[in-house]
Amino acid sequence: MRKLSISAAILMTLTMLSAPALADFKVGLVLDRGGRDDKSFNASAYEGASQAKQKLGIHLKYVEATDENSYEPLLRAFAQKDFDLIIGVGFAQKDAVAKVAAQFPDKHFAIVDSEVDLPNVRSLMFEEQQGSYIVGAIAAMVSKTGKIGFVGGMDVPLIRRFQLGYEAGAKKINPQITIFSNFCGVTPEAWNNPPKAKELALAQYEEGADVIFAAAGASGAGVFDAAEEQKKLAIGVDSNQDWTKPGTILTSMLKRVDLAVYATIQEAQVGKFTGGLKRFGLADKGVDYSVDQYNDKILPESVRARADQLKADIIAGKIDVPDYYKQH
């Protein structure tokens, strides 16, 4: 009996020590395949949330989904544990978020890269085709061989959107340009398969491409390896990846998932959460291309000037960037 009461006391103390203060705003983050440290998409989402943790003092808990069936239980667990804001990162979680949000109408949800039409869900979508257009133009400007490449992750409409924008931007600069396009796979494993991505990139470089845009999540590391080995260039995606291999990464197509996540948390915390669709594009710096000390020397001023001009034209509506979502 004594052992029981002692262990009960210990258990209670531990629970009390680990429970956050009642006033804390609790945010649950369900990350996609590729993990928190994919240095790309999920990393950006996590970065936004941890910025919120630092600056706004929220209580953050993140989980990494290991397969498609785990999204729903993870989201539901957050809802059942009384989390204030639950964020599903990635289009793959669309159905899971729709289901769980419908079951918990008084909880707030957010989803990245997809649209869920419920009043308690904020959908965060990005104009990837605009950002891809710009880096396509950059690739075409920098390419000496007139051949560039694209390595996508999973063959889904989202990545086709990147591809279409990329090709359009490149053809704007050089209508005769040759573009090689490959996908790492057709299942979510494609987001975390660097050896496959490396083989695809090597094949493209051997065909003459000298710049490859990697839109493949954690698999992009394979493309960068190939670029380094062949002493050619690559373009990163989502997060700023220029630092991973300075001198080899020409630029990165920034998708400011971090800003979107941060803004959502901030608004929800002060009670200003709104459902509905929020689009982020070039105009509000939701997508952009990166310039920093790691690609400063390899991205010429003239290229940047032209890229900025194209940016302004797109924002002003003078250029119509083809959008895979609209065409299909």
Residues that bind other proteins in the complex, under the rule CB under 8 A: 34-38, 64, 155, 178, 180-183, 185-186, 189, 192-196, 198-200, 203-204, 207, 218, 221-222, 225, 228-229, 244
Shortest Å, Cβ 313 to other proteins:
28
The b/e string for 14-52 (b: 16+ C-beta within 10 A; e otherwise) is eeeeeeeeeeebbbbbbbbbbbbebbbbbbbbbbbbbbb
Shortest Å, Cβ 314 to other proteins:
25
H or E element: which one contains 96? helix 94-103
C-alpha dihedral sign at 90, 95, 96, 100? positive
H or E element: which one contains 121? strand 121-126
Q: Which residues pair with residue 29 across a beta bridge?
A: 62, 87
Q: Which residues pair with residue 195 across a beta bridge?
A: none
Nearer to other proteins, 199 or 284 (CB): 199
Shortest Å, Cβ 277 to other proteins:
30
Nearer to other proteins, 85 or 92 (CB): 92
Shortest Å, Cβ 42 to other proteins:
8
Nearer to other proteins, 180 or 280 (CB): 180
Shortest Å, Cβ 207 to other proteins:
7
Nearer to other proteins, 178 or 266 (CB): 178
Tokens in use for 44? 């950006």
Considering only CA atoms, which of 315, 249, 261 is closest in space to residue 283? 315
Nearer to other proteins, 24 or 37 (CB): 37
Shortest Å, Cβ 41 to other proteins:
11
Other C-beta atoms lying within 10 Å of the C-beta of residue 316: 9
Nearer to other proteins, 244 or 264 (CB): 244
Give the chain's largest Cα–Cα span.
Answer: 83
Q: Which residues pair with residue 215 across a beta bridge?
A: 152
Rg (CA), the chain: 21
Shortest Å, Cβ 316 to other proteins:
32
Residue 35 — left, alpha, or beta (φ > 0 → left; ψ -120 to 50 → alpha)? left
Nearer to other proteins, 152 or 169 (CB): 152
